[in-house]
A and B are shown apart, each in its own frame.
Chain A
Amino acid sequence: GDSVTQMEGPVTLSEEAFLTINCTYTATGYPSLFWYVQYPGEGLQLLLKATKADDKGSNKGFEATYRKETTSFHLEKGSVQVSDSAVYFCALSFTSGNTPLVFGKGTRLSVIA
């Protein structure tokens, strides 16, 4: 079945460091890919998305590029802030139909000043 694999955390970085969280997927067909973020005590929020190969999603300084050849959607940010501390989830779904999201296990990021 369809699945998403994320790098395990926790990840601890100093403020202004470069962030990469790896995400790879297994799916039949060509899914849409998402990154969701869960801040402490809050619900899941959509961070960015990409719907086809080579698309780049971006938001709040975060970026991820849909790589079909490597079935990957790695999340990057050039300079993290303390406020970026959260749990990040990579997910896929098939938006051509009414399908639910399939999530990875999540990666906890802690940014220290």
Chain B
Amino acid sequence: EAGVAQSPRYKIIEKRQSVAFWCNPISGHATLYWYQQILGQGPKLLIQFQNNGVVDDSQLPKDRFSAERLKGVDSTLKIQPAKLEDSAVYLCASSTSGQGIRKTQYFGPGTRLLVL
């Protein structure tokens, strides 16, 4: 079974530029998460989708971050304009929508963003 795919793996941009990340979840996984992992910290949720609807975006800085999941499969996360403090690893995860232990989250390799 293929895992969660993300691209690009690395991105370097200057502040005030825009950037987009892409995620392809495991086939059949209805729930998709984007996490931000700042160096030295644990991942923190940015946004959660169930199919193509947003479940939780309370921690997404909506003045600069946006995300979509068209057709309930792939997802893109965009930052516009980027700030220095956005330098982090952006992780995508997916899970099934069932109850209990079947909801284990599987993570992609992440996109490492450096804002100069």
Question: Taking beta carbons and an 8 Å cutoff, which residues of A are in contact with B?
Answer: 4, 32, 36, 42-46, 49, 51, 89, 91, 93, 95-96, 98, 100-101, 103-106
Q: Which residues of B contact A98 (CB under 8 A)?
A: 31, 48, 50, 55, 97, 103
- Complex: how many Å from CA A42 to CA B110? 8
A91-B42, A95-B101, A100-B33 known; 7 new pairs, CB 8 Å cut-off, are: A43-B91, A43-B109, A46-B104, A95-B100, A101-B33, A101-B93, A106-B41
Given the complex of chains A and B, what is the CA–CA distance between A93 and B110 in angstroms? Answer: 21
Do A101 and B105 touch (CB < 8 A)?
Answer: yes
Q: Tell me the complex Cα distance, A36–B33, Å.
A: 16
Q: How large is the interface on B (under 10, 10 to 19, 20 to 34, 35 or more residues)?
A: 20 to 34
Q: Is B43 an interface residue (CB 8 A)?
A: yes
Residues of A near B108 (CB, < 8 A) are: 43
Nearest CB of B to A50, in Å: 10
Question: 22 interchain pairs (CB within 8 A)?
Answer: A4-B42, A36-B107, A43-B91, A43-B107, A44-B91, A44-B93, A45-B107, A46-B104, A46-B105, A49-B101, A51-B100, A51-B101, A89-B42, A91-B42, A95-B101, A98-B31, A98-B97, A100-B33, A101-B33, A101-B45, A103-B43, A105-B40
